[in-house]
Amino acid sequence: MATLTPRMQEKMQRLARMVLRHADEILDQNAPTADLPARLHDAGVNARALLYLLERPGELTPDEETASQAPDR
């Protein structure tokens, strides 16, 4: 996701950053564990959002690394 996000359009980049930030909060070792079912639900919802972004990232800009390795014609 980290390599895909910079290639996304601005709107999708904002969404990806928000989802990644939320994933970081869910996985934080210091996160409260009082309501475990709610945390598991949050993790599932966030995982679904990450999968959606990976499967449907929207229009992407060309990958600079791949573009620089393309053979000249």
Block residue for tokens 């969404």:
15
What integer pLDDT is reported at residue 51 of this predicted model?
95
What integer pLDDT is reported at residue 72 of this predicted model?
52
- Is 19 within 8 Å of 49 (Cβ atoms)? yes
What integer pLDDT is reported at residue 73 of this predicted model?
47
Q: Which of 1, 2, 3 is nearest to 63 (CA)?
A: 3
What integer pLDDT is reported at residue 13 of this predicted model?
94
Domain boundaries along the sequence of the chain: 5-56
Structure tokens at 20: 């990644």
Block residue for tokens 């869910």:
26
> Mind listing the pLDDT tens digit of every residue in the chain (73 residues)?
888 999 999 999 999 999 999 999 888 888 777 788 888 899 999 999 999 999 999 899 987 765 555 555 4
Q: What is the DSSP string of 37-58?
A: HHHHHHHHHHHHHHHHHHH---
